[in-house]
Amino acid sequence: MRFINVIKVALRALRRSAMRSILTALGIIIGVAAVIAMVSIGNGAKSQVEASIASLGQNIISVFPGSATTGGMHGGWGSASSLTVDEALSIRREISGIVAVSPEMRDRQQVLANGLNWNSSVNGEDVTYLDIRLWTIAEGEMFTEADVNSAAKVCVIGQTVVAKLFPDGDPVGRSLRIRNLPFKVVGVLKAKGFNYFGSDQDDVVIIPYTSHLKRIARRPNLNSIIIQAESPDQMTRIQQDVTDFLQQRRNGRDPDFTVRNQQELAEAATATTKTMTVLLGAIAGVSLIVGGIGIMNIMLVSVTERTREIGIRLAVGAHGRDVLTQFLVEAIILSVMGGTLGILLGVGSSQLISRLNGWPVLISTSAIFGAVAFSAAIGVFFGFYPARKAAQLDPIEALRYE
Amino acid sequence: MSHVVQLEDIHKTYESGEVPVLAVRGVTLTIAGGEFVAIMGASGSGKSTLMNLLGCLDRPTRGRYLLGGTDVSNLDRNELADLRNQKLGFIFQGFNLLSRTTALENVELPMLYGRRHFSTREVRERARQSLDIVGLSNRADHFPSQLSGGQQQRVAIARALINEPQILLADEPTGNLDSKTSVEIMGVFQKLNAQGITVVMVTHELDIAHYCKRNLIMRDGRLVSDTPVVDRLVATEQMQRIVTAETDAKLIA
């Protein structure tokens, strides 16, 4: 039989019991929609995590002081006073493949202005810090190299600090007080929002690291050194070089520092969301299989109901293969129809979920293609057994069937 | 005339139950082209089994069956299907039309399963011609449920004719019809036979058998009688008599 006729006959048979066909396809519709919605939401979550990791800055290697041990008590990472400005500057000079280095000194201070006060993170950084963090100035400008060299009393502030201390806005040119010292606000940062760990990145006052060390912290040692590599593939090498370089300067003493690579953090975080996506997708996949079993069930009923019809077809010269193709095509049409409607429903519902919850949703084309291919495969797989049963009927028996 | 059907010592035994059933036990028979044969017998005499064997719906357990000169006793399922499609036309007691499918599409069915592919137009054209032969071209777009029993059987005959078979096989074709419609159907068979088509039918009605040219009687799986019909009935005359009788009845009433 010509294929166009096979399809015609299949469509007619499906139309004959339209309600049943729709209910059968519903299993596949829900399955495919669930897979697409779950994978889309999962991908959205993944992209959100990746974006928030990227907002920490790209290709960043951080050097932290090691643990200080006083009277047998270990202070934990960062407690040692081991990193110096000189080391930071030497790293910049000596090691290749580095774009920027920012010596960093941070602590929390009470900041005052306009008779208001707010406890904020005061970060001493180099001029390059904003570039490393992919951060930009909204108003005014960043302090300059000259400010760093002269340990000037200038600062740029985040949006949260603006809101808390300059509620009437326009802080550039005015000053705030840290530890009773006036710092002139030269710039306001663009809002960056909360980071992956839930802390407010806009709650910050950035001053030259030299000013921090000299006027606020009043100590010679740094909190950390932030290093930006030229490209991701150089990170491991630079991490090793920095470790070697610092170790060499310690003349064989135990290392009192640690060098960390942001990539590891990013990988761990994306791996988590990836696992979630796979998990959600797998659960949705189960519903697809259940839908497939529904198709098989209905096709078996259909074969029994249409035994006489099969008998007639065999009697007038249909081969077993013709009957097999007939029922297989019917099952595939059911599942592909279900798959197509499932895509529409899946895309629609993911848009709706994204609209309602404000989650980012990334509709993945591979999930769509995958779902359609899978539903067709389900049609073949679950349609085959009933179809074969029909094809193997004995024409005489089938004709006698009441 | 050449032999269309040649059976040599055909046996058919069913092994499905505990005791093997010997449905056909040694039938030897030749049917020439252009013959019009009725196979009669009580139920269980093996006439339906013989019909299934003749129709290539079933294979004999033993013996040789030559259809148009070729041995078909040992063909496989698909080869038998092709034979049914090309060389045989089957007509059933219960019409066996596809429901919710128009008369025309029912007639087209065997052509769709042929090994040769025809264009949709060609198939439609031939189905119309076939319906024309049985006088139903004005009912082409009706569904079986909209047709009378006689009309349904005529659609089935048109379907059997569409691939221009060598032989028409009819299994109790008038079994579900009233006597007037039966005569009408026999008229169709006589007309086709007059055009040279070989017809073999199974019936248990003696008067129906009288429309044929040759009567075979089966008992216990064997042929016990093979006689030519002497006082053959002609459907058109019988129809005339029935119509006259009906009018008379109405006049009297």
Are A280 and A41 in contact by the 8 Å Cβ rule? The answer is yes
With a CB cutoff of 8 Å and minimum separation 6, the contacts of A223 are: A64, A65, A78, A83, A104, A105, A106, A107
Segment B25-72, tens digit of pLDDT: 999 999 999 999 999 998 889 998 999 999 999 889 999 999 988 899
Output phi, psi for A387, to 5 deg: -65, -40
Q: Does B143 reach chain A within 8 Å, measured CB to CB? A: no
B105 or B100: whose pLDDT is higher?
B105
Determine the average pLDDT of the residues in B243-253: 81
Segment B68-91, tens digit of pLDDT: 888 998 889 999 999 999 999 999
Nearest to B90 among A5, A315, A322 (CB): A315
Three-state DSSP class for B61?
coil
Residue type, A316: V
Task: Give the mutation candidate from A316, A325, A400, A401 for the B interface (greatest B CB count, under 10 A).
Answer: A316
What's the mean pLDDT when you consider all of chain A?
A: 85
Q: What Rg, from alpha-carbon coordinates, does chain B have?
A: 19
Assign residue A327 a region: left if phi > 0, alpha if psi is -120 to 50, beta otherwise?
alpha
Nearest to A322 among B98, B101, B113 (CB): B113
Distance from CA of A318 to the nearest CA of B (A): 5
For residue A80, name the pLDDT band (cuts at 50, 70, 90): low
Q: Structural domain tally of chain B?
A: 1
Structural tokens at position B185 = 């159907």
Segment A164-209, tens digit of pLDDT: 899 888 889 998 999 989 999 999 999 887 776 678 888 999 999 9
For residue B100, name the pLDDT band (cuts at 50, 70, 90): confident
* Residue A17 predicted with pLDDT over 90: no
Q: Please tell me the predicted confidence (pLDDT) of residue B86.
A: 92
Q: Does some domain include residue B153?
A: yes
For residue A89, name the pLDDT band (cuts at 50, 70, 90): confident
Q: How far apart are CA B73 and CA A149, in angstroms?
A: 107
A395 to chain B: which residues are within 8 Å by CB? 57
With a CB cutoff of 8 Å and minimum separation 6, the contacts of B12 are: B22, B23, B24, B46, B49, B50, B53, B58, B60, B61, B221
Residue A115, number of CB atoms within 10 A of its CB: 6
Q: Does some domain include residue B92?
A: yes
Output phi, psi for A260, to 5 deg: -120, 150
Segment B121-170, tens digit of pLDDT: 999 999 999 999 999 999 999 999 999 999 999 999 999 999 999 899 99
Q: How far apart are CA B132 and CA B208, in angstroms?
A: 24
Partners of A52 in beta bridges:
none
Q: Does some domain include residue B139?
A: yes
> Mind giving me the DSSP string for A78-139?
T-S---BHHHHHHHHHHSTTEEEEEEEEEEEEEEEETTEEEEEEEEEE-TTHHHHTT--EEE
Q: What is the dihedral of CA A202, A208, A211, A217, to 10 degrees?
A: 50
Q: Does some domain include residue B7?
A: no
Q: Does some domain include residue B154?
A: yes
Q: Does some domain include residue B12?
A: no
A400 to chain B: which residues are within 8 Å by CB? none
Q: Does some domain include residue B93?
A: yes
Q: Does A250 reach chain B within 8 Å, measured CB to CB? A: no
Segment A323-365, tens digit of pLDDT: 999 999 998 998 888 888 999 999 998 888 888 877 777 787 8
Q: Please tell me the predicted confidence (pLDDT) of residue A79.
A: 63
Q: Does A308 reach chain B within 8 Å, measured CB to CB? A: yes
| Minimal-distance CA residue of chain B relative to A399 | B96
For residue B252, name the pLDDT band (cuts at 50, 70, 90): low
Q: Please tell me the predicted confidence (pLDDT) of residue A363.
A: 81
Task: Give the mutation candidate from B77, B115, B118 for the A interface (greatest A CB count, under 10 A).
Answer: B77
Expressed as residue numbers, the domain containing B123 is 88-164
Partners of B217 in beta bridges:
B40, B225
Determine the average pLDDT of the residues in A119-140: 89
Q: Does A313 reach chain B within 8 Å, measured CB to CB? A: yes
Q: Does some domain include residue B94?
A: yes
